[in-house]
Structure 1
Amino acid sequence: MYTVSAIEMVEVSPRDGLQNEKRAISTADKLALIERAIDAGSRRIEVTSFVNPRAVPQMADADDVCAGLPHRDDVTYIGLVMNQRGAERALATGRIDQLGAVCVATDKFAMANQGQTSDGSVDAAKDIIKLAKENGKTAQATIGASFGCPFEGEVAEDHVVAMAISLAEAGPVEIALADTIGVGNPAHVASLVARVREAIEPIPVRVHFHNTRGTGLANVWAAIGAGASTVDASIGGLGGCPFAPGAAGNVATEDVTYMLERAGMSTGLDLGKLVATNHWLAGVMDKTLPAMVAKASPFPAAEEHRNSKEEEAV
């Protein structure tokens, strides 16, 4: 069990949080979400994806989102890309600091997600990492369906480890293991994260969990215990994948922050501002969001709230 004092958080709500939503979200609201995330302390944000707008209509305004990003030297803006063309689009904006490449652990899902085999997706990810470096940018890679596939079911750990080793050859800043459809359990997570961490050191391991079956927070805790240093999360717990049947929301930034901060791990995030952003975003989406902490009363109670209750008791 690793003992750490701080965990890096990557905010993915502007991209993964919104990409599967049917309600059209304006560019202005996406930029407001990004600005609110920054104000709450987020310093790495997945702002959009450069994909075919016919396949993912919610991301059709990727260039406009990038044009409106606040100029911040202390924030890393991440653009998700599936192929060379997407990577070139992202770089052309001049606003993306880091490319997020994606490969997939099974052939059937890789074909549905990006029209290539699992091995082909690894090769494409390595090419994207190379292109980023050639253009003075950084890149990271995510292995989708690391813990289970919507089409093929169980995924062999050995295969995921081999993919990670191959990706590491290209020198990404980190490699992420993604539970795309939320089938992971803490024991599996601990085992796979530990194996991948040992195989790719000193490259860090990032994790990306969906809360489809209610195991998201437990999986985050298990991953950190096994050596993961960075966690993806989405304000409000929104999220899903258009190409993965049954994929539900990401682990919520507010919920992960509450859990880690209460356990003595710094996230650099302001929980109160995250909860306020949850309430704002619920209005934009016109629905209650899945995150739990925003539905509960603050704990520990704010000083003024405590004093008020004490006065009432007297």
Structure 2
Amino acid sequence: MSQTNFKLVECPRDAMQGLHDFIPTKLKVEYLNLLLQVGFDTLDFGSFVSPKAIPQMADTAEVLAQLDLSSSSTKLLAIVANLRGVEDAVKHEAVDYLGFPFSISETFQQRNTNSSITQSLNTVEEMVSLCAKNSKKAVIYLSMGFGNPYGDEWNYEIVEKWADVLVSKGVEILSLADTVGVSTPEKIGTILPKLISRFNRTEIGIHLHSTPAERIEKISAAYLAGVKRIDSALKGFGGCPMAADDLTGNIATEDLISFLNTKGENLELNMDKWNEAIALSGKIFG
């Protein structure tokens, strides 16, 4: 199976956004330019959000202007949290995907985007329309897709209901996101096959957060469920700043690569560039 069939989404934006000390723009550019040469399908590189909300991403437009896309087939994804962010992001020709966190937990939607689920649905509709007009695609994350810590109701039916609503609004890529690391192999193995078979014209991905000990079993469950789009970050850095758990980071890309290699997947990655990126990551993440 070639990589065209398996989409690896590397997420340096998710890894960097919660860091307290501002990473110099030049260093971000150097790191992202290395990752662009590895051969990932997509790079979640930055976000067009309020600098007050995420100070680390205040230089996204500046970073974007310095990325070398000349010899990379990797597509660029930027996160947005409201319509203003959408309008900013679609102006940039180099951005292929706009990602929006649509939470199925009302509490988290308010905390994360300062809007209700209903308001966020309106944002998604306008976003899909603006993306279509500007040759972009919307990636909608079903955030808190495996449960939430607030006591908001969660079950498989709720996940399917919101997936149904979003697909009916024209969303072509849905990524089930475990914002706080509460997914289990059982949950992954139950909900993903349902979504993949029911929405067979929609690309279904997964964005997991995990403690290091549980990463491989979650990757394995997602793989067995038939998912072909997986988000991860080098060394598992990052995770949701709201999660407040130092151990709950992203899925580590090196774990994902090594798992897929054991399954005989042909990922066609440039491992020399990958190792250079790992070496440079120490300057960013300490």
Q: Determine if the TM-score, normalized by the shorter chain, exceeds 0.5.
A: yes
Mark the CA change 1:110 to 1:37 in structure 2 (over 3 Å): closer, same or farther: same
User: Could you tell me how far apart the structure 1 residues matched to 2:77 and 2:203 are?
Assistant: 17
**How many residues of Structure 1 are paired with residues of Structure 2 in the alignment?**
283
Offset at 1:232?
0.5
User: Could you tell me how far apart the structure 2 residues matched to 1:154 and 1:28 are?
Assistant: 44
Unaligned runs of 5+ residues in structure 1 are 287-314
Q: Secondary structure at the match of 1:55?
A: coil
Tell me, yes or no, if the aligned pair for 1:79 and 1:98 is still in contact at 8 Å: yes
Matched, 1:97 2:96: yes
Tell me, yes or no, if the aligned pair for 2:139 and 2:171 is still in contact at 8 Å: yes
Q: Secondary structure at the match of 2:231?
A: strand
Offset at 1:174?
1.4
Residue in structure 2 matched with residue 68 of structure 1 by the alignment = 66
User: Could you tell me how far apart the structure 2 residues matched to 1:206 and 1:62 are?
Assistant: 24
Residue in structure 2 matched with residue 185 of structure 1 by the alignment = 184
Offset at 1:213?
6.5
Offset at 1:135?
1.7
Q: Secondary structure at the match of 2:21?
A: coil
Residue in structure 2 matched with residue 46 of structure 1 by the alignment = 44
Report sequence identity in percent.
27
Deviation string, structure 1 residues 255-311 (Cα, Å, up to 9, x no partner): 11011112211223234542332222113322xxxxxxxxxxxxxxxxxxxxxxxxx
Residue in structure 1 matched with residue 147 of structure 2 by the alignment = 148
User: Could you tell me how far apart the structure 2 residues matched to 1:190 and 1:103 are?
Assistant: 22
Q: Superposition pairs for residues 1-314 of structure 1, below 5 Å?
A: 6-13=5-12, 15-72=13-70, 74-152=73-151, 155-212=154-211, 214-246=213-245, 248-286=248-286
User: Could you tell me how far apart the structure 1 residues matched to 2:253 and 2:283 are?
Assistant: 18
Q: Secondary structure at the match of 1:103?
A: strand
Offset at 1:215?
2.2
User: Could you tell me how far apart the structure 2 residues matched to 1:156 and 1:122 are?
Assistant: 20
Offset at 1:123?
3.2
Structure of higher CA gyration radius: 1
User: Could you tell me how far apart the structure 2 residues matched to 1:119 and 1:104 are?
Assistant: 11
Moved more, 170-179 or 107-116: 170-179
User: Could you tell me how far apart the structure 1 residues matched to 2:16 and 2:48 are?
Assistant: 14
Letter in 2 for 1:76: K
Offset at 1:117?
2.2
Q: Secondary structure at the match of 1:278?
A: helix
**TM-score scaled by length of structure 1:** 0.84
User: Could you tell me how far apart the structure 2 residues matched to 1:164 and 1:268 are?
Assistant: 32
Offset at 1:154?
6.3
Mark the CA change 1:44 to 1:26 in structure 2 (over 3 Å): closer, same or farther: same
Offset at 1:153?
6.2
Moved more, 244-253 or 74-83: 244-253
User: Could you tell me how far apart the structure 2 residues matched to 1:236 and 1:213 are?
Assistant: 10
User: Could you tell me how far apart the structure 2 residues matched to 1:173 and 1:4 are?
Assistant: 22
User: Could you tell me how far apart the structure 2 residues matched to 1:271 and 1:77 are?
Assistant: 20
Letter in 1 for 2:28: K
Letter in 1 for 2:47: S
Unaligned runs of 5+ residues in structure 2 are none
**TM-score scaled by length of structure 2:** 0.91
Mark the CA change 1:118 to 1:219 in structure 2 (over 3 Å): closer, same or farther: farther
Deviation string, structure 1 residues 115-151 (Cα, Å, up to 9, x no partner): 1223432332232122111222222111111012132
Letter in 1 for 2:264: G
User: Could you tell me how far apart the structure 2 residues matched to 1:174 and 1:32 are?
Assistant: 29
Moved more, 227-236 or 37-46: 37-46
